[in-house]
Amino acid sequence: MSTTETKFWTIDPSNVDSIQIEEAAALLEDNQAVAFPTETVYGLGANALNEQAVQGIFAAKGRPADNPLIVHVADKDQIEEVVTHIPQMAHKLIDAFTPGPLTLILESNGSCASNVTAGLPSVGVRIPDHPVARALLQACRLPLAAPSANRSGRPSPTSAEHVYKDLNGRVAGIVDGGPTGVGVESTVVDCTGARPVILRPGGITKEDLEEVVGPTDFDPALVNQEEKPKSPGMKYTHYAPEAPLWLVEGDLAFLQRQIEQLQQNDKRVGVIVSQEHAEQIQADEVQVCGSRAHLNEVAVHLYSALRSFSTDTIDVILCESFPEHGMGYAVMNRLKKAATQVITQDK
């Protein structure tokens, strides 16, 4: 694609009433693509009602067009403008978890551009919980299609610096609102059936959802890549760092043996581990991603850790595995998507 002059604004989340928000909103109203922070990761937004504007997202990211986009809106009233109706379970989830890291799959009324929904009869919508995102949505009064603001396949961006590295010269603007809070994308819940189904684990856990709406399922398509995706993150390689990533399922001694075997083959090895294990692991580079006792913390630092390694200094990245409950399910979902292989210790 041709090079674009990318404007860059730095906005204090505690003072969003600024001319910079108006400038960014004007670009969105002009059907251009602008990156902005949400509470999960940075998003790349464009007018969800305009097919050409949305095409700018796909072009900037190098994203396959059969992957649907999530529509970000300012409030519940704006959800009603793009869907046929809001079922009772969705009303409960909206009241309990929004604004917040939750995306609801609802029946589309056809107002969003066809390349937002990838030809599906449904649309994913969410109300972000970040003061800069909310101010931008209120200023432009448009529903914004907004996948993560990274080149397709790369780890999602949790800082404006990540966005700049991936998309400078490819988008009209980048709004720097500081680091994000949750660190992994929103939970996507399909509300078009009789009971809620999680299509992508994220910032709201299965346990959280079940406290509000009762039994909630995981979609089998989370592991079946042949299904047509109803949600982002269900198809293609995602979240991959520069170097090959090996996810290691086993104890620390097993992880250390994998490191040493690679080093004996003249490989430079980077490792992502929890703070509890960092001092016990020897490698060429070690990145700490948080505490195993606080998996929310691991989620916050995960993408930054994946992005921290360069092929200039590292040939292979190894990462320890984490318990698959609560936020750990979202963390492991992203790691399995990013990994080139999973190494499992024989029991």
Are residue 48 and residue 179 in the same domain, yes or no?
yes
Given this model, what pLDDT does residue 309 score? 96
Given this model, what pLDDT does residue 231 score? 57
Last residue of a domain, one of 176, 207, 222: 222
Are residue 203 and residue 260 in the same domain, yes or no?
no
Please give the Cα distance from 202 to 253 (Å, whole number).
Answer: 30
* Angle 247-301-62 from CA coordinates, rounded to 5°: 75
**Percentage of residues in the chain with pLDDT exceeding 70?**
95
31 neighbors 40 (Cβ within 8 angstroms): no
Q: What is the pLDDT of residues 124-168, one digit of tens each?
A: 999 999 999 999 999 999 999 999 999 988 999 999 999 999 999
Are residue 115 and residue 71 in the same domain, yes or no?
yes
Domain count, the chain: 2
Given this model, what pLDDT does residue 347 score? 61
Which residue type sits at 71?
V
CATH number of the domain that 282 lies in? Answer: 3.40.50.11030
For residue 34, being part of any structural domain is answered with yes
Please give the Cα distance from 135 to 138 (Å, whole number).
Answer: 5
Q: Tokens 């040493």 identify what position? A: 260
Return the HEC string of 32-53: CCEEEECCCCEEEEEECCCHHH
For residue 40, being part of any structural domain is answered with yes
For residue 150, being part of any structural domain is answered with yes
For residue 285, being part of any structural domain is answered with yes
For residue 239, being part of any structural domain is answered with no
How confident is the model over 297-308, as a mean pLDDT?
A: 97
Are residue 215 and residue 268 in the same domain, yes or no?
no
Task: Look at the chain and count its residues.
Answer: 347
Are residue 64 and residue 120 in the same domain, yes or no?
yes
Are residue 216 and residue 304 in the same domain, yes or no?
no
Are residue 171 and residue 319 in the same domain, yes or no?
no
Q: What is the pLDDT of residues 182-241, one digit of tens each?
A: 999 999 999 999 999 999 999 999 999 999 999 999 998 775 554 555 555 555 557 889
Please give the Cα distance from 69 to 232 (Å, whole number).
Answer: 6
**Strands 173-176 and 187-190, sheet pairing:** unpaired
Are residue 334 and residue 265 in the same domain, yes or no?
yes
CATH number of the domain that 150 lies in? Answer: 3.90.870.10
Expressed as residue numbers, the domain containing 82 is 7-222
Are residue 182 and residue 325 in the same domain, yes or no?
no
Record the tokens describing residue 22, joined without a space. 């108006």
Q: What is the mean pLDDT of the chain?
A: 93
Given this model, what pLDDT does residue 224 score? 54
For residue 235, being part of any structural domain is answered with no
| Residue of higher predicted confidence among 347 and 45 | 45
Are residue 201 and residue 259 in the same domain, yes or no?
no
Given this model, what pLDDT does residue 226 score? 47
Are residue 106 and residue 181 in the same domain, yes or no?
yes
Given this model, what pLDDT does residue 230 score? 58
For residue 237, being part of any structural domain is answered with no
How confident is the model over 323-334, as a mean pLDDT?
A: 95
Are residue 33 and residue 176 in the same domain, yes or no?
yes
For residue 228, being part of any structural domain is answered with no
Last residue of a domain, one of 222, 253, 278: 222
Is 315 exposed, middle or buried, given 0-12, 13-18 or 19+ CB atoms closer than 10 A?
A: middle
The DSSP result for 149-214, as a single string, is: SS-TTSPPPSSHHHHHHHHTTTSSEEEE----SS-SPPEEEE-SSSS-EEEE--SS-HHHHHHHHS
